[in-house]
Amino acid sequence: MSDAPFEPDPLERDFRALKAHAAPPGDDLMARVLADADAVQAAAMAPPPRAASSFGTRFVRLIGGWPSLAGLATAGIAGVWIGLTQPAALIEGSQALLYGDQTMALVDLDPGFGFSDLDGGL
């Protein structure tokens, strides 16, 4: 490897002359470079632009955000499912209530509670 300095020769003097001859960067170049630096830095540090809010976005915000929308969707799906499958226990219960011949009575276990005061009691 030839990292060691070369012996002084005319070429070495030429290299030294060329180094000494190099003019430093001018103010104009430094100003351009720093303007670039500031512009790139400002762009990198700026928050990302917010997308324009659509009707959907505003609706979601109106009802309380995405958690509310998820709850609403779950309730809707559950309603559709109940309507389609008609669970037997629910049908039996409601049919018995509406069309059955059983009678139901409310028993006032605690007269002091107040039922007895309504329309002469039950």
Which residues here bind another protein, judged by CB under 8 A? 1-3, 9-15, 17-27, 29-34, 36-38, 40-41, 44-45
**Considering the complex, what minimum distance in angstroms separates the CB of residue 51 from another protein?**
23
The answer to whether residues 100 and 107 touch, using CB atoms and an 8 Å cutoff, is: no
Q: Which is nearer to another protein, 29 or 91 (CB)?
A: 29
Q: Which is nearer to another protein, 8 or 49 (CB)?
A: 8
Cβ contacts of residue 68 below 8 Å, gap of 6+?
Answer: 60
* Helix 55-62 with 66-85: angle, nearest 10 deg: 90
Q: Which is nearer to another protein, 31 or 82 (CB)?
A: 31
d(CA 122, CA 115) in angstroms, rounded, equals 7
**Considering the complex, what minimum distance in angstroms separates the CB of residue 48 from another protein?**
14
Nearest to 30 by CA among 38, 19, 18: 38
Q: Which two tokens stand for residue 9?
A: 């020769």
d(CA 62, CA 59) in angstroms, rounded, equals 5
Q: Which is nearer to another protein, 1 or 84 (CB)?
A: 1
**Considering the complex, what minimum distance in angstroms separates the CB of residue 68 from another protein?**
37
**Considering the complex, what minimum distance in angstroms separates the CB of residue 35 from another protein?**
10
